[in-house]
Amino acid sequence: MRRTEPLELDRQRILVPKQIGTVLLLGAAAFMLGLWPARSLSAVEVSAIREARIVTGTGKIIGKGTVVFRKGLITDVGEEVKIPADAQVVEGAGLTVYPGLIDAYTHLGMPAASPAGSGTQGPAPALALPQPEQVRGDPSLAAGDLVKPGGSSIEEERGTGVTTALTCPRQGVFPGQSALINLAGSEASIVVVRSPVFLTIQFTTGSGFVGVYPNSLMGTVAFIRQSFYDAIHYREENDRYHRMKRGVPRPEYDRKLATLGLAIHGDLPVAFIANTDGDIRRALMIADEFKIKPIIIGGLQSYRVVDTLKARNVPVILSMDFPKRAKDLPEDEDEPIRVLRERAEAPKAAGLLARAGLKFALMSGTLSSQDFMSNVQKAIEGG
């Protein structure tokens, strides 16, 4: 995904995070920056970085130049750029400005997943069974509080040209709340650009473990719905207490239900991890029931429901982790036509979403950085 023109990013939303010694201009990938403003120069009408060292997308270096933004978009860049009189100016002397990509969904900087199941962060005994809270997750868990800067995976991702990523806890039906992070810096206070960005929900189960609920897809859907209904009841009880004061017991604080209440009332965006067309429809059904404006994460089969997504104006964070032939499958064993078709269609999904006019971004998920960029190229070739 190489640029062939120097810093011509006028159609892309730009984020300028707080950095020590470096300013990163972040282009192309994350539509969520346009929906929920981050700490950035886009918060002001006109802004400019002047007298900075600028590295362009083609590798050309401008020793001392200026970049001008209007409403978060680059409008001019070069050595002899005139700064508008009403611009907020950032002194760029001693700083380097360069373009970068945003990976729209990852687990970068998050604690390792527990081998026992789908919920708690950190190590667990190899033979331990998952606890209910591991499978169900914790919607109040915030990636911004958990992120650990540095590490080989972050360095590898940055080495491919990704300078910022959306990251989220890994496990449970409600893994937690995502955060937007820079891939440079040694302190969480520097790398975290915005937290939270949205609440994540996934159709995971405790399948195979006796007594762990939910242990089926139907059970997971029921658990999600019941959790939202519990959050509605929790908020109603709190409202009743604040209205009545006397004679009404104060409800015990529940951080999980309080977080879900924010989602129901539109104060916290909600994203569903859904790759199959069936899961996408389930996500939309839940969103309709609770009047949530959803985002779809994954969306490998979003091309099958593109008309439905378009009609509802649902954004998609599209996975580049395309289906692959199973490694343990013998070379002489044929695969079903359905599987071959899904593998062939996956790289075309981005083109179909683009032609439909849907907002979408690209995500690596658990892919290596090299495989991510390789599959982005396949998506470009696919339309």
Model confidence pLDDT, tens digit, residues 230-249: 999 999 999 888 888 777 88
Separation between Cα atoms, residue 71 and residue 73, nearest integer Å: 6
Closest among 44, 203, 172 to 110, alpha carbons compared: 172
Q: Is 322 helix (H, G, I), strand (E, B) or coil?
A: coil
64 found inside a domain? yes
58 found inside a domain? yes
59 found inside a domain? yes
Q: Is 93 exposed, middle or buried (0-12, 13-18, 19+ CB in 10 A)?
A: exposed
Take residue 159 and report the two structure tokens written for it. 């080495």
Mean pLDDT for all residues in the chain: 82
Dump the DSSP string for 171-183: -SSB-EE-EEEES
Q: Is 237 helix (H, G, I), strand (E, B) or coil?
A: helix
Q: Render pLDDT for 45-100 as a digit per residue (tens, 0 to 9).
A: 899 999 999 987 777 899 999 999 888 778 898 999 999 999 999 999 998 888 88
Separation between Cα atoms, residue 257 and residue 15, nearest integer Å: 32
Separation between Cα atoms, residue 15 and residue 39, nearest integer Å: 8
Take residue 150 and report the two structure tokens written for it. 């540095």
Residues in the chain: 383
- Give whichever of 31-40, 150-159, 281-290 has the largest mean pLDDT: 281-290
In the chain, the percentage of residues whose pLDDT exceeds 70 is: 83
Q: Taking each helix axis from N to C terminus, what angle separates 277-289 and 217-244, rounded to the nearest 10 degrees?
A: 20
Structural domain boundaries, residue 86: 22-99
71 found inside a domain? yes
Residue 133 confidence class, pLDDT cut points 50, 70, 90: confident
Q: In terms of pLDDT, which residue wins out, 59 or 362?
A: 362
- 125 has a pLDDT exceeding 70: no
Least confident of 70-79, 196-205, 352-361: 70-79
380 found inside a domain? no
Please give the single-letter amino acid code of residue 65.
Answer: G
Q: In terms of pLDDT, which residue wins out, 255 or 209?
A: 255
Check: CB of residue 64 under 8 Å from CB of residue 52: yes
- 140 has a pLDDT exceeding 90: yes
DSSP state of 229: H
Q: Is the torsion defined by CA of 161, 164, 166, 168 positive or negative? A: positive
Take residue 194 and report the two structure tokens written for it. 């915005």
- Give whichever of 19-28, 44-53, 153-162, 293-302 has the largest mean pLDDT: 293-302
Residue 304 confidence class, pLDDT cut points 50, 70, 90: very high
Antiparallel, parallel or unpaired: β 162-167 and 96-106 = parallel
122 found inside a domain? no
Residue 56 has a pLDDT of: 77
383 found inside a domain? no
Task: For residue 222, report the phi and psi dihedrals to the nearest 5 degrees.
Answer: -65, -40
Separation between Cα atoms, residue 164 and residue 158, nearest integer Å: 8
Q: In terms of pLDDT, which residue wins out, 127 or 59?
A: 59
CATH of the domain at 52: 2.30.40.10
Take residue 79 and report the two structure tokens written for it. 């050595």
DSSP state of 252: P
- Has this prediction a pTM greater than 0.85? no
In the chain, the percentage of residues whose pLDDT exceeds 90 is: 53
Take residue 73 and report the two structure tokens written for it. 């978009």
Q: How many domains does the chain have?
A: 1
Q: Taking each helix axis from N to C terminus, what angle separates 349-356 and 369-381, rounded to the nearest 10 degrees?
A: 60
Antiparallel, parallel or unpaired: β 96-106 and 22-26 = parallel
DSSP state of 332: T
50 found inside a domain? yes
